[in-house]
Amino acid sequence: MLLEETLKSCPIVKRGEYHYFIHPISDGVPVVEPKLLREVVMRIIKIGNFEDVDKIVTAEAMGIPLVTTLSLYTDIPYVIMRKREYKLPGEIPVFQTTGYSKGQLYLNGIEKGDKVVIIDDVISTGGTMIAVIEALKRAGAEIKDIICVIERGEGKKIVEEKTGYKIKTLVKIDVVDGKVVIL
């Protein structure tokens, strides 16, 4: 499949001590081919539970092309957790850490009782997913499913143990000797 094929040849750069892979789905770089985006979104739809879901939720930035495409196929609206504060009534701030960054994420647009599916391009340390889940719980949402395209490291296991939610992923990778390896 295209996702696996393109991952195997993608470049790696260092961000501090973190070996960061650069791929169209996780970075929009160097170019996003519609064929790849369609394959990834179709695979998400196949494994995801979108029945009776009110909103799809992602974190800025690289979940955005995924949820946009998903929304067009499923007719479900989406909410983006932004790195910028809007100061709207009821806005929920949470702290996000990744393997190479720290910051705030802000949730707007979720009502108590909303049934949601969380989508992200990558789960690595799990720091982002912990923040997204915390914000949605504070908003009173019911999390129906969680799907990340690319899994690396221990984040999935850590988040599952900490929160009790199951996380589905399309592909599991590792970065070894400057290369992506499909596990």
Ligand X SMILES: O=P(O)(O)OC[C@H]1O[C@H](OP(=O)(O)OP(=O)(O)O)[C@H](O)[C@@H]1O
Binding site for ligand HPA (CB under 6 A): 20-21, 26-27, 98-99, 122, 124
Among 123, 135, 136, 146, binds ligand X (CB under 6 A): 123
**SS percent in the chain: helix, strand, coil, step 5:** 30, 35, 35
Stretch that binds ligand X, among 94-102, 107-115, 164-172, 173-181 (CB under 6 A): 94-102
- Measured from the CB atom, the residue of 24 and 126 that comes closer to ligand X is 126
End-to-end CA distance of the chain: 14
CB of 104 vs ligand X, minimal distance in Å: 11
Rounded to an integer, what distance in angstroms lies between the CA atom of residue 37 and that of residue 66?
8
Handedness of CA 8, 61, 171, 35 (dihedral sign): negative
Query: Which of ligand X, ligand HPA, none does residue 127 bind to, with CB < 5 to 8 Å depending on kind?
Result: ligand X
Distance from chain centroid for Cα 115: 17
What six digits make up the tokens of 82? 């932004």
The interface mask with ligand X, positions 10-49, x = CB under 6 A, is: ----------------------------------------
CB of 113 vs ligand HPA, minimal distance in Å: 31
Rounded to an integer, what distance in angstroms lies between the CA atom of residue 141 and that of residue 111?
7
Rounded to an integer, what distance in angstroms lies between the CA atom of residue 49 and that of residue 76?
12
- Measured from the CB atom, the residue of 27 and 113 that comes closer to ligand X is 27
Among 24, 48, 65, 155, binds ligand X (CB under 6 A): 155
Among 82, 99, 104, 168, binds ligand X (CB under 6 A): 99
Q: Which residues contact 65 (CB under 8 A, 6 or more apart)?
A: 28, 32, 37
What six digits make up the tokens of 100? 């190479």
CB of 94 vs ligand X, minimal distance in Å: 12
Contact residues: ligand X, CB under 6 A? 59, 61-62, 98-99, 101, 120-128, 155
